[in-house]
Homo-oligomer: A and B are copies of this chain.
Amino acid sequence: MGGSQILPQPPPQSPGSGPRSETIHRANLAAIVGEIHGRGELSQTELVARTGFRRGLVKQLIGELTELGVVSERSSTASGSPGRQTSLVEARRLGAVVLGIEIAVDSVAVAVVGLGGSVLGTVRLDRPRGRTSVDHTISDLFEMVERLLERTGTREALVGIGVGVDGIVRRSDGRVHLAPNLGWRDVPLGEMLAEALGATVPLVVANGADLAAVAELRRGAAALADNVVCLSGEVGVGGGVIVDGRLLLGVDGYAGEIGHMPVNPDGAACGCGSFGCLETEIGENALLVRAGHSPRGGRSAVDRLLVEASVGVPTALSALETTGRWLGVGLATLINVFNPEVIVLGGLFGRLYPFLAASMEAELDRRALRPSRNRVRVVPSGLGGDATVIGASELAFEPFVADPIRWRQSRPGSPDAAP
């Protein structure tokens, strides 16, 4: 996963058992928690099959996780076997939750998500383009986090914080190297947020589009696929690429910047310093200008444009068709380079999908290599605008899932349990 981890010191390990058997024990707990997080709920039999553990060991681990307040068991009538009861293990509601945070150009969002992926509460704040400074962003987030933890009553259950930001984030330390559309450069966001929120749980920062890809893979349109490209964005265009089930990071974690592939040698200047990038051809501003609107109108201007398109205004339809063609050029590169099974269009492109699908597909027919073209499905996101916060919460759960005892031991009621 991309993103740095700012880890507080763990509580001491339990005494009385050797460090090696303790390590194995924690890995066993992690395997069970990982399965339950991925599936939401599972029977004991399924857990035995999926982990390869003995039934007795599975029972013992479930018992321990129940005591920790992480999972609970309930009886269920097995489908197809009327009268026969099965014991299902599920994530306990409010047992362990994380904060997923998204910092986009025209909004910030926070979600509280429980183990297993249930969204317990979200809040999104649209903001004028002038309010994107680091200080404004952090103070907005502080208030939103406080309110949301209060409203959902989850402060004591918090085990991690994940942050997705529209920018180039270095994996090793979570520094935002460059976020052109936010106007940020060299911001130690992880450190600053951890301090502002008083975080005593791991806080991890990654690129927002990468996290949207993780969300699509685990909870969305690309579930079950191993080779996936996710393209999303509004003003900026970002991407996350999944190669053989793993997020493509590159040597420093900067990979996947598909918004900055040069596609038009004669194109307009881009915020990144280049010109004719995919982002300058398919981003929100180019679309608005092509349709005869003024740029920087934001989401509401795009909504108006979509209304125009749906009643057949020619300039709107033609602008969407042109955007679809350029999108097709960019996707042809990605199809030829990655041979993906699924391409997921999120954010702006999920909303535009019905109007640009035809011209995009036509361009793919002209430009993508036949065997890869025939294989790929291009679909709109099923998660809509929440893909990044959901991906951020997946990232936030990783330290907890990897070692549930470490991030649970001091709870409940510990004074340093939450920001």
Q: Considering the chains assembled together, what is the distance between the CA atoms of A367 and B260 in angstroms?
A: 8
Task: Judge whether A333 and B371 touch: CB under 8 Å.
Answer: no
| Binary contact readout A323-349 vs B (1 if CB under 8 angstroms, 0 otherwise) | 000000100111011111100000000
| Contact among B250, B332, B333, B371 for A227, CB-based, below 8 A | B250
Q: Quick one: closest B residue to A177, CB to CB?
A: B371
Given the interface pairs A244-B246, A261-B336, A263-B262, the reply to whether A371 lies near B251 with Cβ below 8 Å is no
Indicate if A255 sits at the interface (CB-CB under 8 A).
yes
Nearest CB to that of A332 among chain B residues?
Answer: B262
Residues of B within 8 A of A170 (CB): 371
Chain B residue at minimum C-beta to C-beta distance from A367? B274
Check B257–A337 contact: CB distance below 8 A. Answer: yes
Decide: A255 and B369 in contact? CB cutoff 8 A. no
Q: Annotate A357-373 by CB proximity to B: 1 below 8 A, 0 otherwise.
A: 00000000011111110
In the complex the two chains form, is A372's CB within 8 Å of B257's CB?
A: yes
A254 at the binding interface (Cβ < 8 Å): yes
A256 touches B (CB below 8 Å)? yes
Contact flags (1/0) for A204-242 with B, using CB distance below 8 Å? 000000000000000000000111000000000000010
Q: Does A51 contact B (CB under 8 A)?
A: no
Chain B residues with CB under 8 A of A225: 251
B333 and A253 contact, CB distance less than 8 A: no
Instruction: Please determine whether A339 and B371 come into contact, CB atoms closer than 8 angstroms.
Output: no
A264 close to B (CB within 8 Å): yes
B339 and A375 contacting across the interface, CB-CB below 8 Å: no
Most buried by B among A168, A263, A337: A337
Contact with B along A382-395 (1 / 0, CB 8 A): 00000000000000
Give the 3 A-B CB pairs with smallest separation, nearest first: A250-B339, A255-B339, A254-B339
